[in-house]
Structure 1
Amino acid sequence: MAMTAGVLALVLCVLCFAGFWLGRQEAVRIRSGGVQPHSLPSYYGSYVALVCGIPASLALLIWISAADSLVRQFVIAGLPDHLSALPEGDLALLLTDVRNMAYGRVPLNTARPEIVGAVEHYLRLGEISRWLMWLVVLALAIGGLLLGRRMVSAEFRARNAVEQILNILLIASSTVAVLTTIAIVLSLIFEALRFFAKVPVTEFLFGLTWSPQTALRAEQVGASGAFGAVPLITGTMLISVIAMLVAVPTGLMAAVYMSEFMPGRLRAVVKPVLEILAGIPTVVYGFFAALTVAPLVRDAGMAIGLNVASQSALAAGVVMGIMIIPFVSSLSDDVLNAVPNSLREGSYGLGATQAETIKLVLLPAALPGIVASVILAFSRALGETMIVVMAAGLAANITINPLDAVTTVTVHIAALLVGDQEFDSAKTLSAFALGLLLFVVTLTLNVIAQRVVKKYREQYE
């Protein structure tokens, strides 16, 4: 289905380009005949392309989203009574086996006859779905192309129509973004409330022991665990603070050097190279932390008589700080470059040196943007997972010693949701409570950043 949808999307793009060319050529023909069209030829071409592409693209997205679910429902309806009456969980596993057999991931020769029939039914329905998808999408695309092409005339206000369509698309995109955010927040809140119905909020926020129970299935029974989040919060803050102690001075000094001292040609090379650090996958940083930095920290500590854990907060924090340097340096460099040159020239005219100008003029003027970049980097540190998993471990300890092993909120969110989990257990639901806690913290930091920027923002002519 995915490959077929990809080919169909490519065909749809070709039809849109053809519609643009036809609409533009028709407008050029009208203008060459001595009649001045209302809009430029490119607007007519854009209108035809949009009318051709938008309805067909929406139909393709809806089909991709709903086709598999509909095929599953038809497969269930075609199952024998003793199979269709299975519990929901067992039926889902059965359908997964049918799907795997249909795609050749599981041998079909060992399956029961009724399962083989379900697989064949699944394949037939999938083939029908693909043919119908091509038929519907191509019909909408070609129909839109022909309709848009007929609308091209000297009197047609193509520019107004294109701007109206684009305005609707922008509103729809922003609405999807807002609704997605609301859905994420509501899902966190609802699941967290289920957790707090089992575990008191005070125990979660102020408890000193984190030892969740093993996630059991609904028909099993087990003793409840300890869900005090203080060790996770302490570990998160410790590693994040170490990361910021590495990233902020280094990133800020790099930004000042690139903005005020580095030649333009060299800056054009160095800044993209520095920003490559932000594009390296975090799992690579995790390997670097676990295989290089952690042993180096342990050996250095043992050389001077310190007891250093094999997985320490210091190793994870240092590597996380290296990862965050581009966030601070790039944003701070952009803020420093946005300060008007008139402030620099005025400072030099009063006899200030370059160092005094940077210290007393540029940094105060750029302070709101720098603070915003630091808070953004801190939010990034709070949400990091892979580096902590590989370099700091899973030990939920309450300590401020950077040489000890600690863990973070994000690490345990990932650990709690791994495997075959029962979402009615307090252990699994605690992941949503941790996610809600992390969301509130990062939202608070973003609000503080906005307030700082708004309060101390300088307006320049």
Structure 2
Amino acid sequence: MSGYLFAILAAAACVAAFAGVYRARAIGAVATTGPLKAHSRPIYHGLNAAIWTAVPAFVVLLLWLAFQNSIIDQFVIGAVPGSETMESSARSLMTSEIRQVAAGNIFRQPTPEVQAAADHLRSLQAVSTYLLVAVTLAIAAIGAFLGMKVVSARYRARHSVETAVTIFMMFSSLVAIIITLGIIGSLVFEAMHFFAKVPVTEFIFGLRWEPQIAIRADQVAGQGAFGVLPVLYGTFLISGIAMLVAVPTGILSAIYLAEYAHPRFRAVVKPLLEILAGVPTVVYGFFAVLTVAPAIRAIGTAIGIPSSPNSALATGLVMGVMIIPFISSLSDDAFSAVPRAMRDGSLALGATKGETIRKVLLPAALPGIIGGVLLALSRAVGETMIVVMAAGLIAKITANPFDAVTTVTVQIVTLLIGDSEFDNPKTLAAFALGLVLFIVTLILNLIALRTVRKYREKY
């Protein structure tokens, strides 16, 4: 029913918009013959009528849908005999059972109390649906009436629409901030539960990552070790190899495409280069594990270096190829945004093409280049599929890039796979890793902002 209501509100807003435009044009035609002149164009009157029609009803509809289930559950469970003395877990279990019976998902014969509560639930849901339709349509009708009533030659419809748009943008920004704070809060809250079970010093300075759960009280091997340093080391090692591949290649290709390439060549090569960003990561993973990893292992064996079937070097090389388009595309846009007068002025003073690129274009385009590098670094740090397929799950600190390592994101996925309960250190460790990854990313962003402010050229 809610989907139909959304469609009805959209149709009502369109009808109100056309009616508002028609009425405004009629009033405007009359006003042009008299001493008054219309303040706003008819389109603004139509938009204002559509906003008055749809927005209040839409807000009521969302709030109703958000709270109706919890309110109905309170009425239903309150009518069950003995529910006042139940614990919260028992009340939740009974509520779930009542909802399943009301929906027709009966796996066993329900008790008379549960059956009566299910019938009560269905009746309340029917009443709630009828009330929702009536209230929503009534608010939409009142809004349409008020939106049409205010249409006049001197009504400031444009100001009203701009105010509504401003409020919507402020609300969107507020929602983004609240969601960000909610994500941070959830990470911190669950990480605090983890640190209540595992000392912070062991997590930060520990050199062994073996998250296990003891099945028996006397099982010493199941106590686990939660040192994050090996996981962070693997993350930085693979990301560092990827950036060593992607940053020079991406920036140099952007310089060539922006300053040296023929327009026809650029029109063909740039889209082909950006296709790399659209290739699924699982394809890169297959390429890494079937082609690159065996070749890297063969090279390591040939030069006498111990090599693993899964290696950080193979993963970093393939990941570097994957993130080249992020750096190349943003750097090319940054070079293209530099004013032509700066190039011409540098060349007019006797600078060569290379000197102009090094001393004029690079400083001016530095913010865009740093943005591309940061985007690529975030993509490398957050990559999971390639690491799982080509690097493995072993957390270790090793100076040998031909050896297998793991990353933070892979460990988070591994820890949260399956029906795990969120009351043991093994599962809660995923939130601690997420918090560490968030802090590391924040530090990298702060360093990048400081670098841009210090070295960029303003023009």
- The TM-score with structure 2 as length reference comes to 0.87
2:10 paired with 1:10: no
Q: How does 1:84-163 map to 2 (within 5 A)?
A: 88-89=88-89, 92=92, 108=106, 110-113=108-111, 122-163=121-162
5+ long unaligned stretches in structure 1: none
Query: What's the offset of the Cα at 1:393?
Result: 2.1
Per the alignment, residue 33 of structure 1 pairs with 30
Match in the other structure for 1:240: 239
Change (3 A) 1:301 1:162: same
The answer to whether residue 192 in structure 2 is matched with residue 185 in structure 1 is: no
Q: What code does the residue aligned with 1:175 have?
A: L
Give deviations 1:188-215, integer Å, cap 9, x for gaps.
2232223223322221111001122328
Matched residue type, 1:16: A
The CA distance in 2 between the partners of 1:297 and 1:367, in whole Å, is: 34
CA 205–239 in structure 1, closer or farther in 2 if over 3 Å, else same: same
Amino acid at match of 2:156: R
Q: CA distance change for structure 1 residues 64 and 279 in 2, over 3 Å: closer, same or farther?
A: farther
Indicate conservation of the 8 Å contact 1:372/1:450, yes or no.
no
Shift in CA distance, 307/173, structure 1 to aligned 2, threshold 3 Å: same
Q: Deviations over 1:304-360 (max 9, x none)?
A: 665432322223222322232222112111111111111211233244443443234
Moved more, 289-298 or 45-54: 289-298
Q: Secondary structure in 1 aligned to 2:31?
A: coil
Q: Which moved more, 1:231-240 or 1:84-93?
A: 84-93
1:226 is displaced (CA, Å) by: 1.4
Residue aligning to 1:43: 44
Q: Match for 1:47: what amino acid?
A: N
Indicate the RMSD between aligned Cα atoms, in angstroms: 3.2
Query: 1:234 Cα deviation (Å)?
Result: 0.5
The 3 A distance-change label for structure 1 pair 37 and 424 is same
Is the alpha carbon distance of 1:395 and 1:125 closer, same or farther for their aligned partners in structure 2, counting shifts above 3 Å? farther
| Alpha-carbon shift at residue 282 of structure 1 (Å) | 3.7
**1:174, CA displacement in angstroms?**
1.5
Larger mean CA deviation between 109-118 and 402-411 belongs to 109-118
The residue that corresponds to 2:251 in the other structure is 252
**How big is the shift at 1:110?**
4.1
Paired-residue identity, %: 53
Using a 3 Å threshold, how does the CA distance of structure 1 residues 135 and 384 change in structure 2: closer, same or farther? farther
Alignment of 1:60-79 (within 5 A): 60-77=61-78
TM-superposed CA distance for 1:42, in Å, is 1.4
1:337 and 1:215 map into 2 onto residues whose CA distance is 59
TM-score (norm 1): 0.86
The aligned length equals: 452
Q: How much does 1:387 deviate?
A: 2.4
Cα drift, residue 68 of structure 1: 3.5
Indicate the structure (1 or 2) with the bigger Cα radius of gyration. Answer: 2
SS in 2 for 1:402: coil
What is the match of residue 391 of structure 2? 392
> Take 1:298 and 1:41, find their aligned partners in 2: how far apart are those partners?
71
Greater shift, 440-449 or 246-255, is seen at 246-255
3-state SS, counterpart of residue 61 of structure 2: helix
Structure 1 residue 185, shift from structure 2 partner: 1.9
The residue type equivalent to 2:452 in the other structure is: V
Query: Structure 2 matches for 1:294-309, cutoff 5 A?
Result: 294-299=293-298, 301-302=300-301, 306-309=305-308
SS at match of 1:395: coil
Instruction: Tell me which amino acid in the other structure corresponds to 2:3.
Output: G
Q: What amino acid does structure 2 have at the position aligned with 1:112?
A: P
Structure 2 match to 1:230: 229
SS of the equivalent of 2:334 reads helix
Q: Deviations over 1:19-58 (max 9, x none)?
A: 2211112111111223421111111111111112221222
Cα contact 2:101–2:110 (8 A) shared by 1: no
Higher mean C-alpha displacement, 13-22 vs 441-450: 13-22
Quickly say closer, same or farther: Cα 1:100–1:337, change in 2 above 3 A.
Answer: farther
Superposition pairs for residues 210-225 of structure 1, below 5 Å? 210-214=209-213, 224-225=223-224
In structure 1, give the amino acid aligned to 2:449.
Q
The letter for the 2-side match of 1:135 is A
Counterpart amino acid of 2:110?
R
Cα gap change, 1:323/1:39 in structure 2, threshold over 3 Å: closer, same or farther?
same
Partner-residue secondary structure (3-state), 2:316: helix
Match of 1:384, SS state, is coil
* Deviations 1:365-402 (CA, angstroms, capped at 9, x unpaired): 32343233213322332222232223222211112322
Contact in 1 for aligned 2:285/2:390 (Cα 8 Å): yes
Q: Look up the match of 2:55.
A: 54
C-alpha distance in structure 1 between counterparts of 2:221 and 2:324, whole Å:
46
Could you tell me how far 1:244 is from its partner in structure 2? Answer: 0.7
Q: Residue 158 and residue 318 in structure 1: after superposition, are their counterparts in 2 closer, same or farther (change >3 A)? A: same
Verify the 8 A CA contact 1:369 1:453 in the aligned structure 2. Answer: no
Match in the other structure for 1:200: 199
